Amino acid sequence: AQSVAQPEDQVNVAEGNPLTVKCTYSVSGNPYLFWYVQYPNRGLQFLLKYITGDNLVKGSYGFEAEFNKSQTSFHLKKPSALVSDSALYFCAVRDSLTGGGNKLTFGTGTQLKVEL
Amino acid sequence: KAGVTQTPRYLIKTRGQQVTLSCSPISGHRSVSWYQQTPGQGLQFLFEYFSETQRNKGNFPGRFSGRQFSNSRSEMNVSTLELGDSALYLCASSLAGGAPSYEQYFGPGTRLTVT
């Protein structure tokens, strides 16, 4: 079975400061990991993914994420937060052993609030 | 390239009725997945279709069903609506169903309210 945990319901950060949104996962095989962002009354927007290779992946809008296999984590980061980054962030995982298909398991989401 | 479109965007139904939601994937995408989003349960996978065949199914009752047409457009149907079915229903499309590395692109969702 595949699962994802986002331990923080909300993260507050001042504009210009670095931000981190945490995610840990559990899979039986190899993980395929994704980050999505959701703005109010909108669908989910894809930010970045880790499939294999370099542990640091770069994505849209200056976001990046670090894959750590020993800690089963995939934390989302940004060096300098913007007020416009305020939104709901979801981590998602797919287990390589679940066979074909695109079933994603999502975390519960972390509300990011960036203040002036 | 146009994104994933979902119709209608908002829907109000009465308990016991049925509803059909529609999703048009990004051109060239053959995999379509459906998710239910509620404040209490978060994002939950409903089912996935690829080449008109259901490939994966989540843990939802049989009242929830779907189908995919030859042009990859998909519909989901919920029969005998219950108050708990009130949710945002999201459709997502992906380039290929057999390659898990492909990310999914989501539509804006259909907000279903059951009264």
| Neighbouring residues of A88: CB distance < 8 A, sequence distance ≥ 6 | A37, A38, A39, A109, A110, A111, A112
Nearest Cβ partner for A102 among B48, B107, B108: B48
Which residue of A lies nearest to B43 if distances are taken between CA atoms? A106
Other CB atoms closer than 10 Å to residue B72's CB: what's the count? 21
Q: Is-cis flag, bond preceding B8, omega within 30?
A: yes
What pLDDT does residue A40 have? 87
Strand pairing report for A87-95 and A31-38: antiparallel
Q: What residues of B are in contact with residue A34 (Cβ under 8 Å)? A: 103-104
Q: What is the pLDDT along chain A (116 residues), one digit of tens a residue?
A: 889 999 999 999 999 999 999 999 999 888 999 999 999 878 899 999 999 889 999 999 999 999 999 999 999 999 999 999 999 999 999 887 766 677 899 999 999 999 99
User: Is residue B97 pLDDT above 80, yes or no?
Assistant: no
Residue B105: φ, ψ to 5°: -110, 130
Judge residue B60's burial from the number of C-beta atoms within 10 Å of its C-beta, 0-12 exposed, 13-18 middle, 19 or more buried.
Answer: middle
Residue ranges of E strands in A9-62: 10-14, 19-21, 24-26, 31-38, 44-50, 56-58
What pLDDT does residue B67 have? 97
Greatest C-alpha distance within chain A: 46
Give the type of residue at A38.
Q
Burial B98-108 (b: 16+ CB within 10 A, else e): eebebbbbbbb
What pLDDT does residue A100 have? 60
| Contacts with A, B 15-74, CB within 8 Å | 31, 33, 35, 42-43, 45, 48, 50, 55-56, 58
Report the Cα B52 to chain-centroid distance in Å: 14
User: Is residue B98 pLDDT above 70, yes or no?
Assistant: no
